Structure 1
Amino acid sequence: MPGSKPLDPSSSPRAMLGAELRHQRVQARLTQGELGRPLFVSGSFIGQLESGTRRMQPEYATYFDETFKTNGYFLRNCEALKTSKYPDHFAEAAEAEAIATVIKEYAPLLIPGLLQTEGYARAVFRAYNPTAVEETIEELITARLERANLLKHPTKPMVWTVLDEAVLRRPVGGPAVMAEALRHVARLIRKHRIIVQVLPLSAGAHAALEGTLKLMAFDDAPPLAYLQSMGSGRLLDDPATVARHELTYDLVGASALSPETSLALLESVAEDYEHAEQQP
């Protein structure tokens, strides 16, 4: 059968695997919901597997091979796709981010990875891994900077970030690193590549006090929400849960400064860091 060949890893393998799943499901005259029910997953989750926005897990692949009599095709290729340059808790979110059409993020502690400079990323990873060899740190930095290639397209994905004012005030890497990092974000804003708002400390209590929130939308799949905490993360697809987090993001944005005022604050704080660096 055509689907029995291993996937070519250089040719969007997850999308190819998803396309084969869709083909087999349609051939079997099953709806997405019917296919997902024995796995205790929603039809929308099956749709995300078919579109390549979710990573296929071995237990799902085994079930698909048994259901469609595909002689281990899904499991073989699922195992081949397991390697990732990102930590396990973030790998699936990073892969979804790469094909998202809209990315919205509330960042309470750090400049988001997509917007980081090399110096800022280095300071973050060294703080996370104080005894790691330099080669490990360099690999982490390279992977993070490669994610920023998404921003080379002039308009897609649409990136809208709300930065807590604490992100601006925390001198990650020292004044010179912070000045460079904030200037980098400001340049992306002035190029009309990203939208950024700052949530001022004076806003007090707000809807996202519990932590980081990333929302991703896609052309051909339901939206996802990603919640991250120390050394762990959860990618969520339940429609009601995602809708609740979308409301949270909207409430945070409503409490934040306007994009224009936020840019002025970013550049003002960057200037303060530059002056601090010049002090003897």
Structure 2
Amino acid sequence: MSEEPKNEADEPGWEVDPDDESGAAVVATVGRQLRLRREAAGLRAAEFAQAIGYGEDLVYKVEAGNRIPRPEYLDKADKVLRAEGMIAAMKQDVGEVRYPKKIRDLARLEARAVELLSYGSHALHGLLQTEAHARALLGTRRPTYFADELDRMVDGRMARQSIFGRLPAPELSFVLEEVTLRRPTGGTLVQRQQLERLLEVGEMRNVEIQVMPTNAWEHPGTGGRIQVLKFGDGSAVGRTDDEYGGRPVSDPRRLRILELRYGIIRAGALTPGESMALIERVLGET
């Protein structure tokens, strides 16, 4: 008995970001190759859709470069078109494009960084979040993400955490607000798993996690997040919520201001040892 074709609602694929020109070009090329191989095999779109178990409308959209095909779509297309792995290999081409462009750009910067300085005012840094915490946190956004968008955001955030396995390891410094430990984002179980993850990451030799106590209100972080990424060639990029329009800056004078603020915040926070003890205490109270 043949498998019922999936319709667009069942398996929508990922929408192509119209502002992502390079990503759209990759998806268009993959779609064109799929169409040429289908036509060379003598299959109409409807026949091909039936054979791979997806809707005809989705086939047209993938081939037109309007949808990013999922890995399983490419695997089935490879088998039906007897491409001997040539189509399945396209998964690598579209693998990055599935993530929003701003996440890909950030991931590339983090992959180059030899040092990262991060102060977060109201949420944990994405590199520290568990998948469940990230999903719950992103789910609070208004207007809400569609399910597909939310999946892409979470997947992209988790992919960035490959930074912890890099060699040589970059130096990573995080200052967290105490409230981010105590807020039960996603519920008690998710909160506990998140606290356990912080303790795990905090044990890494190249990572320092410090907590700013809630009662330490007088510090230069009241304007929002601060982040600085430093690279091996001596260059750097940083940003903060309350200045420069929140845009990344690389001017040395502006970077010095961000580093000055971060240094004062870091000095006023609990030491890494005290911070781990506080996280353990909050975990015990949860």
TM over 0.5: yes
What is the TM-score normalised by the length of structure 2? 0.61
- Give the Cα–Cα distance (whole angstroms) in 2 for the partners of residues 155 and 200 of structure 1: 32
RMSD: 2.3
Residue 86 in structure 1 maps to residue 100 in structure 2 = yes
- Give the Cα–Cα distance (whole angstroms) in 1 for the partners of residues 221 and 265 of structure 2: 7
Partner of 2:84: none
- Give the Cα–Cα distance (whole angstroms) in 2 for the partners of residues 216 and 91 of structure 1: 15
Task: State the 1:133 CA deviation.
Answer: 3.3
Aligned partner of 1:197 among 210, 222, 226: 210
Partner of 2:75: none
Q: Aligned runs of 1:29-108 on 2, under 5 Å?
A: 85-86=99-100, 88=102, 92-108=105-121
Q: Deviations over 1:133-168 (max 9, x none)?
A: 322211111100000011113652111000011211
- Give the Cα–Cα distance (whole angstroms) in 1 for the partners of residues 168 and 193 of structure 2: 24
Instruction: Give SS of 1:236's match.
Output: coil
Q: Deviations over 1:202-249 (max 9, x none)?
A: 2121011100011111111412112247xx841111111100110100
What is the TM-score normalised by the length of structure 1? 0.63
Q: Aligned runs of 1:85-234 on 2, under 5 Å?
A: 85-86=99-100, 88=102, 92-128=105-141, 131-153=144-166, 156-228=169-241, 233-234=246-247
User: Which consecutive unaligned segments of at least 5 residues does structure 2 have?
Assistant: 1-21, 23-95
Residues 234 and 118 of structure 1: is their aligned pair in 2 closer, same or farther, counting only changes over 3 Å? Answer: same
Instruction: Give SS of 1:162's match.
Output: strand
- Give the Cα–Cα distance (whole angstroms) in 2 for the partners of residues 171 and 193 of structure 1: 28
- Choose 1 or 2 for highest CA Rg: 2
Residues 225 and 84 of structure 1: is their aligned pair in 2 closer, same or farther, counting only changes over 3 Å? Answer: farther
Instruction: Give SS of 2:233's match.
Output: coil
Instruction: Give SS of 2:113's match.
Output: coil
Which has the larger share of helix? 1
Is the contact made by 1:93 and 1:226 (CA closer than 8 Å) also made in structure 2?
A: no
Aligned partner of 2:278 among 262, 265, 268: 265
Is the contact made by 1:154 and 1:193 (CA closer than 8 Å) also made in structure 2?
A: no
Instruction: Give SS of 1:224's match.
Output: strand
Query: Size of the alignment, in residue pairs?
Result: 190
Is the contact made by 2:230 and 2:237 (CA closer than 8 Å) also made in structure 1?
A: yes
Q: Extract structure 1 runs of 4+ deviating beyond 3 A.
A: 90-94, 129-133
- Give the Cα–Cα distance (whole angstroms) in 1 for the partners of residues 201 and 114 of structure 2: 18
Task: State the 1:95 CA deviation.
Answer: 2.5
- Give the Cα–Cα distance (whole angstroms) in 2 for the partners of residues 240 and 135 of structure 1: 41
State the AA in 2 paired with 1:158: E
State the AA in 2 paired with 1:97: E
Q: Percent identity?
A: 28
Greater RCO structure (CA 8 Å; 6+ sep) = 1
Is the contact made by 1:93 and 1:235 (CA closer than 8 Å) also made in structure 2?
A: no
Partner of 1:48: none
